Amino acid sequence: MIIEVLSKYNEKDAARIRELLIQLSRSGKDRGEIPREWFENLIASPSHDMLIARDENGKILGIATLSIIMGPIVRKNAYLEDFVTDKDCRGQGVGTKLWEAMLVWAKEKGCRELNFTSGKGREEAWQFYQNKGAEIYDTNFFRLSF
């Protein structure tokens, strides 16, 4: 297995990433195609990356989308937006390899922390994060759509 940063767009990878994001979705519903422009913006951005885990045949087994967030007092943190491994290969080390690559990415970008959320009902994910040393904060997540 190799971990790489998404560096170019192709339709096959875009379709596979979409499949994985459907697995991550709370509803499990397909929300349509991810626009090519989204991929191109992500690839071009110095503050965002998608890490991809591929098997020896090039199949994408998991992804992690990361961003740099600037905080007060010149503090940089990494924010994990999407992190998913294919349901058929969970428990085989894909998530751990991606996790390790995320930490390297964040440190190389000068970040001091990795921040993320994980919704209710994701006990398996919570256990994974706790096993990796992540601390669960007692907080609420708010969203305002417009």
pLDDT above 70: residue 133? yes
Question: What pLDDT band is residue 100 in, cutting at 50, 70 and 90?
Answer: very high
Q: What is the mean pLDDT of the chain?
A: 88
94-108 in b/e form (b: 16+ CB < 10 A) is bbebbbebbeebbee
Show the tokens assigned to 83. 């992190």
- Please write the tens of the pLDDT for every residue from 44-79: 999 999 999 999 999 999 999 999 998 777 689 999
Q: Which residue has the higher pLDDT, 23 or 120?
A: 23
Show the tokens assigned to 86. 């294919």
Angle, CA of 57, 47 and 145, to the nearest 5°? 100
How far, in Å, CA of 61 to CA of 3, rounded?
A: 10
The phi, psi pair for 7, rounded to 5°, reads -125, -10
CATH number of 2-131: 3.40.630.30
Domain ranges for the chain:
2-131
Q: Is 114 helix (H, G, I), strand (E, B) or coil?
A: strand
Q: Is 84 helix (H, G, I), strand (E, B) or coil?
A: strand
Angle, CA of 43, 45 and 50, to the nearest 5°? 45
pTM for this prediction: 0.85
How far, in Å, CA of 125 to CA of 146, rounded?
A: 29
Question: What pLDDT band is residue 35 in, cutting at 50, 70 and 90?
Answer: very high
Per-residue pLDDT, averaged over 1-14, amounts to 96
